[in-house]
Structure 1
Amino acid sequence: MDLSPIGRAALKSREGEVLAAYLDTEKVWTIGVGLTTASGLIKVTPGLTITAATSDALFTEAVKAYAKPVNALGVKLEQHQFDALVSLCFNIGQGGFSGSTVVRRLKAGDVAGAAEAILMWNKPAAIISRRQGEYDQFRTPYTVALPKAWRGDRSPVKAPNFMAPVPAPPPVALPAPIPPVAETTAKTGALGGWLSSFFRWAA
Structure 2
Amino acid sequence: MKTSEIGLALIKKWEGFSSTPYLDPIGIPTIGYGFIRYPGGVRVTTQDESITIAQADELLLQLLTQNYEADVHRLITAPLNQNQFDALVSFTYNLGAGNLAKSTLRRKVNLDPSNPSIRSEFTRWNQAAGRVLEGLTNRRQAEAALYFRPYNLKNQTR
Q: Which moved more, 1:106-115 or 1:59-68?
A: 106-115
Q: Distance in 1 between matches of 2:86 and 2:99?
A: 17
The question of whether the paired residues in 2 share the 8 Å contact of 1:28 and 1:36 is answered with yes
SS at match of 1:36: coil
Q: Which has the higher contact order (CA 8 A, sep 6+)?
A: 1
**1:43-84 deviations in Å (ceiling 9; x for gaps):** 311232123332122101111211112112221111111110
The question of whether the paired residues in 1 share the 8 Å contact of 2:19 and 2:32 is answered with yes
**1:142-165 deviations in Å (ceiling 9; x for gaps):** 54xxxxxxxxxxxxxxxxx933x5
Number of the residue aligned with 2:25: 25
Kindly name which structure, 1 or 2, has the bigger radius of gyration based on alpha carbons: 1
Shift of the alpha carbon at 1:86?
0.5
The question of whether the paired residues in 2 share the 8 Å contact of 1:29 and 1:37 is answered with no
Q: Distance in 1 between matches of 2:43 and 2:79?
A: 35
Pair 1:75-2:84 in alignment? no
Pair 1:129-2:131 in alignment? no
Number of the residue aligned with 1:62: 63
Q: Which protein has the bigger helix share?
A: 2
Q: Distance in 1 between matches of 2:25 and 2:145?
A: 24
Number of the residue aligned with 1:105: 108
The question of whether the paired residues in 2 share the 8 Å contact of 1:7 and 1:84 is answered with yes
Number of the residue aligned with 1:175: none
RMSD of the alignment, in Å?
2.0
The question of whether the paired residues in 1 share the 8 Å contact of 2:3 and 2:69 is answered with yes
TM-score, with length taken from structure 2: 0.84
SS at match of 2:20: strand
User: Structure 1 142/105 Cα, relative in aligned 2: closer, same or farther at 3 Å?
Assistant: closer
Q: Which moved more, 1:48-57 or 1:2-11?
A: 48-57
Query: Equivalent of 2:96, from 85, 90, 93?
Result: 93
Residue type of the alignment partner of 1:122:
N
The question of whether the paired residues in 1 share the 8 Å contact of 2:38 and 2:63 is answered with no
* Percent of aligned pairs with the same amino acid: 32
Q: Distance in 2 between matches of 1:38 and 1:26?
A: 19
Report how many residues are paired: 148
User: Structure 1 121/91 Cα, relative in aligned 2: closer, same or farther at 3 Å?
Assistant: same
Q: Distance in 2 between matches of 1:66 and 1:89?
A: 6
Uncovered stretches (5+) of structure 1, i.e. residues with no partner:
144-160, 167-203
Q: Distance in 2 between matches of 1:46 and 1:106?
A: 37
Q: Distance in 1 between matches of 2:38 and 2:102?
A: 18
The question of whether the paired residues in 2 share the 8 Å contact of 1:41 and 1:62 is answered with no
TM-score, with length taken from structure 1: 0.66
